[in-house]
Homo-oligomer: A and B are copies of this chain.
Amino acid sequence: MVRVGVNGFGTIGKRVADAVSLQDDMQLAGVTMTKPSFKLDLARKLGYRVFSATADTKNFQSGDIAGTIEDLIRESDIIIDCSPEMGEENKKLYEKHAKKVIFEGGEEPQIAQASFCAQANYDEARGKQFVRVVSCSTTALVRSLHAIDKAFGIENAYAVLVRRTTDPGDSKKGPVNAIVPETEMPSHQGPDVKTVLPHLPIFTAVVKTSTTLMHLHVISVKLKQEASREDVIKAFENTPRILLVDSKKGFSSTAEIMEYARDLGRKRGDLYEIAIWKDSINVKHGILYFMQAVHQESDVVPENIDCIRAMLGLMGKEASIEKTNRSLSITK
């Protein structure tokens, strides 16, 4: 049983903690928080041990916590750093205790020895001390583009990312009524894909919109090898953690996709898979076009679980992906 500590209990941290709890080869050592809130009640209701995210424990009542972040590190074999982009600072502590750590995609790639997406470079994580699971959008791009690259080769790829502006549980950030461009192009996701797929020529641009549910990517790919629409559909069907949806079946927008995910009955209505609109897939003059939707809160969750097994050499890629999928009710 690998003892896993989760540093942070926000959008990603709480989901990773839940996912770790579901694995029969892992044990959740605990989670951290900076101050008590309704999340403390939740963690206790779930039986999770809570540690203070800092050395300072005075925010908490004595019975509320099991120790500080250093105590959690000591009691863990591996740490998943789900802090709000404070990885660099936390890293000193991790190094002091010589522990293995998974960082999240909000951190700079340089923080780790490798960046990770299970289907693309599982074996690269083996034996490393520090590995970084790439961000939600990068994970999505790697999943679909890696599938295409493997099947047909990619001459170059271009993606316009229409992003959600904040997560559903937030009531502070906007915009209420605007489209916000990132005028610096390429956006960071293009180079970030290359941390996992170094030879993929990709350019990305980002626009932020007034929604909380999902990102939507508009992707065009110049293929090396000829492929029909049907070939591409087959390639996606054979790729793990990709779900094909059809607007003619009622999937008109990201709202209906998330409603479907709620109906599936997974915790929090999460959708770990990348949803690709089947009817958006088409090939014109050697260029493949398609649109995909990304549940920014959850698509990296299974990647974190696989990354633990990859780093510790617990099992091979296919076995881990399948085991993780089964635990989270992902069908492929």
Interface residues of A (CB under 8 A from B): 14, 36-39, 42, 158, 160, 162, 164-166, 168-181, 183-186, 203, 205, 207-216, 218, 220, 245, 247, 249-256, 258-260, 262-265, 267-269, 277, 279-280, 282, 284, 287, 289, 291, 293
The answer for the CA separation of A164 and B207 in the assembled complex, in Å, is 13
Given A171-B253, A184-B280, A203-B220, 9 other A-B residues pairs in contact with their CB atoms under 8 A? A168-B255, A171-B252, A177-B255, A181-B216, A181-B280, A183-B280, A185-B289, A207-B218, A209-B211
Contact A42 B171 (CB under 8 A): no
The residue of chain B having its C-beta at the shortest distance from the C-beta of A293 within the complex is B179
Residue in contact with A247 in the complex, picked from B183, B220, B293, CB distance below 8 Å: B183
Contact A179 B214 (CB under 8 A): yes
The answer for the CA separation of A127 and B177 in the assembled complex, in Å, is 43
The answer for the CA separation of A260 and B42 in the assembled complex, in Å, is 8
A-B contact pairs, 26 of them (CB 8 A): A37-B249, A42-B260, A162-B179, A162-B209, A165-B174, A166-B176, A171-B180, A171-B253, A172-B173, A172-B174, A174-B176, A176-B212, A177-B255, A178-B256, A179-B209, A179-B211, A179-B213, A179-B253, A179-B254, A185-B280, A203-B289, A208-B253, A209-B209, A209-B211, A263-B268, A269-B269
CB of A261, distance to nearest CB on chain B (Å): 9
Contact B211 A216 (CB under 8 A): no
The answer for the CA separation of A268 and B245 in the assembled complex, in Å, is 19
At the interface, is chain A mostly helix, strand, loop or mixed? mixed
Chain B neighbourhood of A255, CB < 8 A: 168-171, 175, 177-178
Contact B258 A168 (CB under 8 A): yes
Contact A211 B172 (CB under 8 A): no
Chain B neighbourhood of A291, CB < 8 A: 181, 183, 205, 207
Chain B neighbourhood of A208, CB < 8 A: 253
Chain B neighbourhood of A269, CB < 8 A: 262, 268-269
Chain B neighbourhood of A162, CB < 8 A: 160, 162, 179, 207, 209
The answer for the CA separation of A259 and B269 in the assembled complex, in Å, is 11
Q: How many copies does the complex hold?
A: 4
Chain B neighbourhood of A282, CB < 8 A: 185
Residue in contact with A250 in the complex, picked from B38, B179, B183, B213, CB distance below 8 Å: B38
The residue of chain B having its C-beta at the shortest distance from the C-beta of A255 within the complex is B178
Chain B neighbourhood of A38, CB < 8 A: 245, 249-251, 256, 260
Chain B neighbourhood of A287, CB < 8 A: 203
Contact B177 A168 (CB under 8 A): yes
Residue in contact with A216 in the complex, picked from B176, B207, B258, B284, CB distance below 8 Å: B207
Contact B209 A210 (CB under 8 A): yes
Chain B neighbourhood of A183, CB < 8 A: 247, 277, 279-280, 291
